[in-house]
């Protein structure tokens, strides 16, 4: 299992939110690029980078900074937020993104997902963001009427192989990963799952590795020190944690 530190950008600042609420944004690092370098120094191979302004507005906003994070950190990066077109996907891939995450666009435009997968293959992932079991869109400011498992099956049918799965009610709350939600998705689909939201400590890392998910996004736990990133990465590279 890959341990993937999160860098969320709002107004050019590295922040964390609680349950996706923009009003709770708090700065967690003085410099996003330096934070990325520190994560790589701790052993991180991947970064999870989100343009929060982009997610809310529906267009790329902090893309130039994100491009610098990718190039100057040297890490593999999955990027999300405000990515709505094939042009957006191509722009980030040209900048070196290893994976681009479609969120609201994937929910609204099934044809876009199919074409994106046809053109870019496994470099395209879909964000399955759920609030009380229902898909959320537009930077999590709106909730659709579709169950997250139904949505997961749809994107899998479109050819998607990777999904970043977030329980919004747990995101930024250090309340533990929603393993039941992930287990349900593993039973319903063959998607490579990247767990996001709620990870607090090594107990969560062990539980997620045991579940067999592809990766785990860690944010607030690392910034607040409830999870030692080096320890988590070491565990997941050991016989007990690698999947």
Placement of tokens 């003085």 in the chain: 30
Strand residue runs (E) in the chain:
2-10, 13-18, 21-29, 46-51, 76-80, 99-102, 124-131, 134-137, 142-147, 162-167, 192-196, 215-218
- Gap between the Cα atoms of 48 and 217, Å rounded: 7
Is 220 within 8 Å of 17 (Cβ atoms)?
Answer: no
Query: How far does CA 81 lie from the centroid of its chain?
Result: 10
User: What element of type H or E holds 168?
Assistant: none
Q: Which residues are catalytic?
A: 8, 129
Write out the two tokens for 164: 């970043």
- Gap between the Cα atoms of 193 and 94, Å rounded: 25
- Gap between the Cα atoms of 59 and 203, Å rounded: 37
Q: In a 3-state reduction of DSSP, which class is residue 159?
A: coil
């Amino acid at each position: 299992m890959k341990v993937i530190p999160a860098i969320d950008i709002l107004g050019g600042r590295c922040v964390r939110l609680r349950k996706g609420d923009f009003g709770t944004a708090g700065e967690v690092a003085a410099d996003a690029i330096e934070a990325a370098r520190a994560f790589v120094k701790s052993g991180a191979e991947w970064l999870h980078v989100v343009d929060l302004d982009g997610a809310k507005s529906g267009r790329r906003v902090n893309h130039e900074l994100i491009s610098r994070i990718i190039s100057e950190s040297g890490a593999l990066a999955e990027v999300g937020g405000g990515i709505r077109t094939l042009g957006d996907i191509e722009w980030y891939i040209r900048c070196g993104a290893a994976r681009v995450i479609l969120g609201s666009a994937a929910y609204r435009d099934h044809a876009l997902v199919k074409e994106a997968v046809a053109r870019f293959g496994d470099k395209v992932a879909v964000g399955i963001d759920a609030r009380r079991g229902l898909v959320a869109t537009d930077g999590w400011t709106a909730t659709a009427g579709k169950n997250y498992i139904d949505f997961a099956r749809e994107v899998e049918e479109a050819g998607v192989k990777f999904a970043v799965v977030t329980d919004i009610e747990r995101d930024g709350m250090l309340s533990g990963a929603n393993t039941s939600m992930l287990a349900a998705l593993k039973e319903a689909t063959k998607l490579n799952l990247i767990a996001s939201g709620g990870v607090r400590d090594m107990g969560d890392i062990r539980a997620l590795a045991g579940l067999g998910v592809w990766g785990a996004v860690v944010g607030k736990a690392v910034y607040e020190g409830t999870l030692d990133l080096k320890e988590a990465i070491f565990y997941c590279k050991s016989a007990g944690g690698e999947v």
